[in-house]
Copies of this chain bind each other. A is one copy, B any other.
Amino acid sequence: MSKSAPGSDGAAKATATPREAGARPPRFDAAFKAQFAELVRWRRDVRRFRTTPVAPQLIEQLLALAVHAPSVGLSQPWRFVLVETAERRAAIAENFARANLSALEGYAGERQARYARLKLEGLKQAPVHLVVCADEETTTGHGLGRQTMPETIRYSVVAAIQTLWLAARAEGLGVGWVSILDPDAARATLDLPAHWSFVAYLCIGWPEEEHDDPELERHGWQERRCEQAKKPLRR
């Protein structure tokens, strides 16, 4: 749609290389916006993967798009790590099992029983394990914008993750964010550079099933409350 007049259906002429197209600002028509809304609504935190491999080029393509996320001072602090060895994957699975047991013990009664029934990760099945880190000491961007709010270096990385997540969903790929981990133990397992903070452990693969409702809602843990956001505070 980049080269078509506003409002026309230029999908067939779409290009992924705006610079080559003369860098004319794109216009996004109603059909695209409706599709984008569907993409956002059908993105899921996936824990049920098929073991079918994912082409490495597809992962590269997702990363290449993710790095167009906003970053504080254009610091581009995202650092990616593919976890490939069976030993490291097993250590991460054990890390999860310990943290999950500890979390389970924090619940009681019916809530605990419900927690025990949830499937909270797809570490064993997902063909791709992608760790996303923030380089806390990068000089890229010359420190601009993060003197008073240094956490924005990690927030930039999260913006890249959400971009990757949506791009993955558009390809039919599922992404699951495993946060039930001891991050220090994970850092040790993965032998990460000391100045990289551990932001996310992502499982990526072809999902076993597709839903427009979150797994935690479908399994009775927590309902969505989308209505409340429509009423922001006013100051």
Taking beta carbons and an 8 Å cutoff, which residues of A are in contact with B? 1-2, 9, 11-12, 14-16, 18-19, 23, 25-28, 31-43, 45, 60, 63-70, 72-76, 78-85, 88, 99, 102-103, 106-107, 111, 115, 118, 120, 130-131, 140-149, 151-152, 154-155, 158-159, 161-163, 165-167, 169-172, 177, 179-183, 190-191, 199-200, 210-212, 214, 216-217, 221-222, 224-226, 228-230, 232-235
Contact A38-B14, Cβ < 8 Å, known A149-B181, A170-B28: yes
Query: Which residues on the B side are within 8 Å of A200 (C-beta)?
Result: 155
Contact A140-B181, Cβ < 8 Å, known A16-B34, A43-B70: no
Query: Which residues on the B side are within 8 Å of A45 (C-beta)?
Result: 70
B18 A26 Cβ-Cβ under 8 A: no
Query: Which residues on the B side are within 8 Å of A154 (C-beta)?
Result: 151, 155
Distance in angstroms between the alpha carbons of A161 and B159 in the assembled complex: 8
Query: Which residues on the B side are within 8 Å of A221 (C-beta)?
Result: 73-74, 141-142, 144
Query: Which residues on the B side are within 8 Å of A72 (C-beta)?
Result: 177, 179
A73 B216 Cβ-Cβ under 8 A: yes
What's the number of copies of this chain in the assembled complex? 2
Closest to A19 in B: B212
Distance in angstroms between the alpha carbons of A118 and B65 in the assembled complex: 27
B1 A63 Cβ-Cβ under 8 A: no
A65 B82 Cβ-Cβ under 8 A: no
B234 A84 Cβ-Cβ under 8 A: yes
A-B contact pairs, 15 of them (CB 8 A): A14-B34, A16-B38, A18-B212, A26-B38, A26-B42, A64-B229, A73-B222, A74-B217, A79-B233, A81-B232, A81-B233, A81-B234, A106-B143, A106-B147, A145-B179
A1 B74 Cβ-Cβ under 8 A: no
Query: Which residues on the B side are within 8 Å of A144 (C-beta)?
Result: 103, 115, 118, 120, 216, 221-222
